[in-house]
Amino acid sequence: MLTIFGAALVTAGAGFAGAAIQGRREHNRWVRQERLAAYLKFLFTANDMWDLVNEREKGSAETKRLQAEPIEARNAIATAPPGEERDRLLERIAHLQADLDRNIAKIDMRLERWHAIDAKRTKMLVPLDFLGPTDVAQAARRVAFAINNDPDAISWRLVKTQAAMRRALGIKAGHR
């Protein structure tokens, strides 16, 4: 009689231990899947931010050029005698003004994209704070708030963040 109860007790204990182990495995799998989803969402948004900073850098140089050239052309008009040369310079100014107007429209579009990314920034960081680990959340924050830096600084921070994400997910870097 005692052996039957002993065997039943051992069997029940093994069942509970197995259920606890299985529950832990399921939880770890769920955390990994949630982390992956949050990390991917962050990386897509960070990539948009990096593209935007790249465009801003190129756009700044273009804006400076488009602002300087009309001044030079207007100065040339002031000394040019009436005739073809003056007409050519006036036409050039009109083209430059059209280019500048297009550039301003691009800046407006970039500003709209910046506002959209800015609105996503906090939303994409909160899950990383909850799901962790801390080094991933901190690295992601450094990327998310590097918008005023140059593209290379963002790129470097993004590489560091991806490495921390791979470690957290247990993913080994692929061979190249």
What are the angstrom distances between the C-alpha of 125 and each of 55, 136, 144? 24, 10, 8
pLDDT above 70: residue 20:
no
pLDDT above 80: residue 163:
yes
Which one, of 106, 110, 131, lies nearest residue 48 by Cα? 110
pTM, two decimal places: 0.63
Distance between terminal CA atoms of the chain? 65
Which of the pair, 20 or 24, is modelled with greater confidence?
24
Distance CA 20, CA 9 (A): 16
pLDDT at 130: 87
Neighbours of 46 (CB within 10 A): 23
Summarised one tens digit per residue, pLDDT across range 96-150 is: 788 778 877 877 777 788 777 777 777 888 888 888 899 999 998 888 887 666 7
Where on the phi/psi map is residue 133: left (φ > 0), alpha (ψ -120 to 50), or beta?
A: beta
pLDDT at 133: 92
Distance CA 68, CA 66 (A): 6
pLDDT at 2: 59
Rounded to 5 degrees, what angle do the CA atoms 108, 50, 116 make?
45
Summarised one tens digit per residue, pLDDT across range 34-90 is: 989 999 988 888 888 877 777 777 767 777 776 777 777 777 777 777 777 777 877
Quick one: average pLDDT of 8-22?
70
Is 88:107 a contact under the CB 8 Å cutoff? no
Confidence category of residue 156, pLDDT binned at 50, 70, 90: confident
| Longest CA span, the chain | 121
Which residue reads 């602002």 in tokens? 67
Residue 78: both structure tokens together: 């002031």
